[in-house]
Amino acid sequence: MNESQERARYGAAALAHLKGQLPNPFPRTMGPNAMSYLQEVVDSGLTGDLVGRFEQAFAAALGVKHCVATPGCTPALALLAAALPGEPGDEIIVSPITDYGTLQGLFRQGFIPVFADAAPGTVNVCVETIAPLITDRTRAILCVHKTGLVCDMDPINELAARHGLFVYEDACQAVLSTYRGRVAGTLGRAAGFSFDSEKTLGSDVGGCVVTDEDALAERLRFLGHSRGGLHKAGYGRVHTEPGYALRMTQSTAAITLAQLEILPENVAQRDRMARLLTCLVNEIPGVCALPIPDYQEVYSCWMFGITLDSEQFACGVASFADQLAEAGIPGAGMGAYYLIPEACTFLDEYAVARRFPFSQPPADRVYRYGPQNTPTAAAFLQRFIRWSTFCEKYTEEHCRLTAQIIGAVADANRV
Ligand SMILES: Cc1ncc(COP(=O)(O)O)c(C=O)c1O
């Protein structure tokens, strides 16, 4: 770290300095039973199975057979990466506009990330951008439902089935979003969720994997909860694989269970307000809200995003965003750093130096990472402004005020 750098901050600490006329998700609205569930953890002398209860309740809410709780989505996806078919040096096709947590496990597992471009005009990948990237080394496709907007999964699943690829979802930002009547997280063979304090199901740094597959769920528990350990009669634990200790704590489970009870109303409000705000914003010339696809019945909107037609404004996009924040939209800013092939600077460094996993035999392919991998996504993010402070506290009045602020900033900067 040099003097101009500081450690990244997360959760309430990351948003503490924000002021504005619109809601800030912190302090979070807590489920009324949070205290009694926490009390159970204490009163039971740590014998209560809040983790098991949460896992059952979340699986039921999604209509899946298994939920395996973890300490976050980064570990959830790391666990899935450890359970994926394939060897170090194999390729996984992944969304480029996302969070580091999508990538961490892939890279640590020795998989080579191959970034599919975003579909034009949005933040998500699509079958057309994925298909040309499939090679003999591709093992899986990891789709991120960015902001809560769901990728068009049916064509992606059909493509994957033709090539024998494992499809899974990073549904961190899309809890209870739906796609053609099915809920995000059930659209591939498995999915990771985050219950980080900022997320829609905001708890205390938690996450999980969901899947309908018995064998996969068992393998995730073996690798992630049992640390790759088996009990051998007359001896004790033997570790037959290098597993992890990625268990959720009982107290996190207690809070997450209580938060899950208020999730449906929270998501319904986000959906209503995101749709209203989308209509209001789209009336402002030169400004366009992220499009909500017709196939998505519920938009569990975690962050609200707009794009600018730069030619209509005299100021740059960064300045437009600053003016929005100044005028009262807390946290408005460009999300350029979501472009992971560029923001994860270690990727290109390792690829150029042929460090593991790029050294993995046959090591005959050249990989480079940067905005050039996904030009549509890179160009899109140059016009994109978002605020992750969008939350269930928004009312119609807040939506009208937001649109008013955007309209006023737009008018003040028109060419
Ligand atoms: C799309 C996405 N993937 C993964 C993560 C990582 O989740 P966690 O913070 O629970 O590890 C996040 C968190 O911001 C995310 O937004």
Q: Starting at the edge strand that comes first in sequence, how are the strands of the sheet with 138-144 ordered?
A: 66-70, 207-211, 190-194, 166-170, 138-144, 91-94, 112-115
Atom of ligand 1 nearest to the CA of 207: 10
Extract the tokens encoding 161.
């089935």
- pLDDT value, residue 16: 61
- pLDDT value, residue 8: 77
- pLDDT value, residue 403: 96
- In the structure, which protein residues have their CB atom closer than 6 angstroms to any atom of ligand 1? 72-74, 98-99, 101-102, 144, 170, 172-173, 194, 196, 207
* Secondary structure of residue 354 in the 3-state scheme: coil
- Residue 344 CA to ligand 1 center (angstroms) comes to 15
Kindly list the structural domains of the chain, giving each domain's residue range(s) and its CATH number in brackets, ordered by start.
34-262+336-374 (3.40.640.10), 263-335+379-413 (3.90.1150.10)
Residues 147/126, Cβ–Cβ less than 8 Å: no
- pLDDT value, residue 2: 75
- Torsions phi, psi of 89, nearest 5? 95, -15
- Residue 392 CA to ligand 1 center (angstroms) comes to 19
Which residue in this structure is represented by tokens 């694989």?
Answer: 241
User: For 205-358, where are the alpha helices, taking DSSP H only?
Assistant: 214-224, 250-261, 263-282, 317-327, 340-343, 345-353
- Residue 102 CA to ligand 1 center (angstroms) comes to 7
Question: Dihedral of CA 218/224/225/227: which sign?
Answer: positive
Minimum CA distance residue for ligand 1 atom 7: 73
Q: How many distinct helices (H) and strands (E) make up the chain?
A: 15, 15
- pTM of the predicted model as reported, rounded to 2 decimal places: 0.96
- Residue 103 CA to ligand 1 center (angstroms) comes to 10
pLDDT 10s per residue in the chain (415 long)? 777 778 877 766 666 665 778 999 999 999 999 999 999 999 999 999 999 999 999 999 999 999 999 999 999 999 999 999 899 999 999 999 999 999 999 999 999 999 999 999 999 999 999 999 999 999 999 999 999 999 999 999 999 999 999 999 999 999 999 999 999 999 999 999 999 999 999 999 999 999 999 999 999 999 999 999 999 999 999 999 999 999 999 999 999 999 999 999 999 999 999 999 999 999 999 999 999 999 999 999 999 999 999 999 999 999 999 999 999 999 999 999 999 999 999 999 999 999 999 999 888 899 999 999 999 999 999 999 999 899 999 999 999 999 999 999 999 999 9
Atom of ligand 1 nearest to the CA of 77: 4
- pLDDT value, residue 17: 67
CB half-sphere exposure, 147, CA atoms < 13 A: 29
Look at strands 166-170 and 138-144 and give their pairing. Answer: parallel
> Which of 9, 95, 97, 99 to probe ligand 1 with, by most ligand atoms within 8 A of CB?
99
- pLDDT value, residue 85: 87
Atom of ligand 1 nearest to the CA of 71: 10
- pLDDT value, residue 319: 97
Atom of ligand 1 nearest to the CA of 195: 10
- Residue 142 CA to ligand 1 center (angstroms) comes to 14
Q: Which of 360, 346, 375, 374 is nearest to 137 (CA)?
A: 360
- Torsions phi, psi of 238, nearest 5? -120, 135
Kindly state the helix (H) or strand (E) to which residue 163 belongs, with its residue range. Answer: helix 153-163
**Integer angstrom CA distances of residue 97 from 201, 308, 326:** 21, 18, 26
- Residue 262 CA to ligand 1 center (angstroms) comes to 21
Minimum CA distance residue for ligand 1 atom 14: 99
Atom of ligand 1 nearest to the CA of 146: 1
- Residue 312 CA to ligand 1 center (angstroms) comes to 34
Cβ neighbours around 221 below 10 Å, total? 16
Atom of ligand 1 nearest to the CA of 98: 1
Look at strands 91-94 and 138-144 and give their pairing. Answer: parallel
